[in-house]
Amino acid sequence: MRRTFPNASAADSRSYDSRVDVASLLPVPTPATTAAREVVVRYSSAALVNHCERSFLWSASLGRLKRIQYDAELLYVASMLHDLGLVPAFDNQLAPFEDAGGDVGWVFGAGAGWPAERRDRVKEIIVRHMWHTVDPALDAEGHLLREGTALDISGRNVDTWPADFRAEVLRRCPRLGLVSEFTAAFEDQARRKPGCAAAAAVASGLGARMAANPLNSDAFGAVR
């Protein structure tokens, strides 16, 4: 399932290819991708489901744009499950939500029949999406999900993605009430788990960054 870019040299891997569209990014359906989406739809709000879908599309498209090889099934499953630690069914009262979500990912991988190494990988990707940065040489999928979620939440590096692609993604997966819902979820995490990454995000102005995210703009067909 790893996306590859033949004929790409080391220099090419840092270059951009503006030809990107939703249809070409969707992974080949597997039992794991199908089940991962069923899980997030069962346990998450519509706004969080769309956030997970967009996170995959931003992440996968960044791999295309920067010619970073990635495992499409692994990236999709991690994208679908990465925020399950925020929902009541999987919230851990002590651990940061990304750790709780990573544990869900590991258990999901076991149920999918994945070998231990692949279960560990999906957990790593989910945990690392809350890191400030992830080196693509260390973890390509973790890097892509980190950057994709950063775009969807705070609009970081928004101009990296072509405007027409952003509009296509937002038409497909509108933002709905993500700003208020996600901010409230992080504030709840911060109150109960001081010292976690969510608490640091709240302290540094997460709510204001989300409200100012260019993806909320009517120019991209989004709905707050």
Q: The whole model's pTM is what?
A: 0.90
3: confidence class by pLDDT, cuts 50, 70, 90:
low
Alpha carbon separation from 54 to 10, 22, 26, 49, 167 (Å, rounded): 28, 10, 11, 9, 11
> What are the b/e assignments for 20-39, b being 16+ CB within 10 Å?
bebeebebeeeebbeebbeb
Spatial separation of the C-alpha atoms in residues 133 and 62, rounded to whole Å:
15
Alpha carbon separation from 2 to 69, 100, 116, 141 (Å, rounded): 7, 26, 18, 10
pLDDT digits (tens, 9 = 90+) for 75-134: 999 999 999 999 999 999 899 999 999 999 999 999 999 999 999 999 999 999 999 999
Over 80: is that where the pLDDT of 182 sits?
Answer: yes
Helix-helix angle 116-128:72-81, to 10 degrees: 50
pLDDT digits (tens, 9 = 90+) for 32-75: 999 999 999 999 999 999 999 999 999 999 999 999 999 999 99
Over 70: is that where the pLDDT of 16 sits?
Answer: no
Spatial separation of the C-alpha atoms in residues 202 and 209, rounded to whole Å:
10
